[in-house]
Amino acid sequence: MRLRVIVPGLATTVQDRGRLGYEHLGVMINGALDTRAAAWANRQAGNPDGAAVLEMTLLGAALEVLGDGAHDVPRAAALAGADLSCTLNGRPWLPGEARLLRPGDRIGGGSARRGVRAYLAVGGGIDVPVVLGSRATDTLATMGGFEGRALRAGDTLPLGELPPEPAGAEYARFEIPPTLLEREIVRALPGHRAAGPASSGLRRLADTWYRVDPRSDRVGLRLRGPRVPADVRGDEISEGMAIGAVEITSSGEPLLLLRSRGSIGGYPTLAVVISADLPVLAQRKPGDRLRLRLVEEREALEAWRAQRSVTLRSPRWAVWNGTLAPGARVERGDAIAELEVMGERRALRTPIAGRFMRALVENGAGVRETAPVCEILADE
């Protein structure tokens, strides 16, 4: 099965988790800017969190589903992130909803109602070539994705093979968490350049409402507002730059670095947005308000853990018999317990890879359908 691009939308690209491990060579990570939304779209489509998806920005793409032969089977697909007025065969398709795609189906896209970036995941993932361990598009280096560029009308995207499923496989259920589309305040840790003369700049940065500048892109979010004093001399030694770093330019403008940023930079970093709030930056559009709130490391770690913690639920009434110890590594499809119904036991499998944290019921206890049974610390 394949997807043919009818209307490409605005800056629609193929993305995954990103190209990790090559920044020391000047190769940028890229990947989905809203990693949280991309992961949840993949989970609903039955994919691993890091499968390649389509990232659509502000304007949704129009696509046609093409078949490859008589043996095509329907494929699960899901949307997550921004609401780009998408449809399937003319009927509304909202973020957080899964559908089945068949040859001949048409996916429509429109303008953004809420948020900026939406993610379309299809069972099997988008099967473009792997470059340096990733299918992510790097448009600046013309690498990865579909020919290293944004999609154009007439492009055809192959889908990967569906992974084999064990006979009678039964997966735990999960609930889709609330979106981060409306959040205007992001949490940040003080940067290592925030001490001494720059401390006044940090206070200004944390006490001020800013608006997103139209010059923002996948490299970084530029903010408009009061200038931030940061003692930028122009002769600073370049250093490594984290995703989420808040640089202060020579003009006093804050620049929040995103996943297409350079691996090094010379402007002083007064703060770093915590990883749990990076998806918020991906969903802010020009003109939106934004403010930073300084937090301590403990709150940043707690937020990271809370965002990645997923409660799995029983798909049926049964007796729970757990099989894993806390901390055990699990991949999608691994058995995490046995559910017993009328003396018959069947493996319960996890739809999400990560660490098994704890069971929420005791072995031998009865559980009802949709009851919470365990927690997974997801990879994302």
- Res. 307: pLDDT tops 90: yes
Give per-residue pLDDT as tens, 150-193: 999 999 999 999 988 777 779 999 999 888 898 999 999 998 87
Give per-residue pLDDT as tens, 265-294: 878 889 999 999 999 999 999 999 999 999
Give CATH 2.40.100.10 domain extents, the chain.
185-295
3-state helix, strand, coil in the chain (%, to 5): 10, 35, 50
**pTM of the complete model:** 0.94
DSSP state of 275: G
Give CATH 2.40.50.100 domain extents, the chain.
307-378
What is the percentage of the chain residues whose pLDDT exceeds 90?
79
CA 93-308-78 angle, to 5 degrees, is 15
- Sequence-separated (6 or more) residues with CB below 8 Å from residue 25: none
Other beta carbons less than 10 A from residue 200's beta carbon: 14
Q: Return the sign of the alpha-carbon dihedral for residues 280, 286, 288, 289.
A: positive
On whether the CB atoms of residues 187 and 273 are closer than 8 A, the answer is yes
CATH match of 307-378 with 1.20.1250.20: no
Q: What is the pLDDT of residue 268?
A: 82
Q: What is the pLDDT of residue 85?
A: 97
Give per-residue pLDDT as tens, 90-144: 999 999 999 999 999 999 999 999 999 999 999 999 999 999 999 999 999 999 9
Give per-residue pLDDT as tens, 20-57: 999 989 899 999 999 999 999 999 999 999 999 999 99
On whether the CB atoms of residues 95 and 193 are closer than 8 A, the answer is no
CATH match of 185-295 with 2.40.100.10: yes
φ/ψ of residue 5, rounded to 5: -85, 120
- Mean pLDDT, the chain, as a whole number? 93
On whether the CB atoms of residues 175 and 98 are closer than 8 A, the answer is no
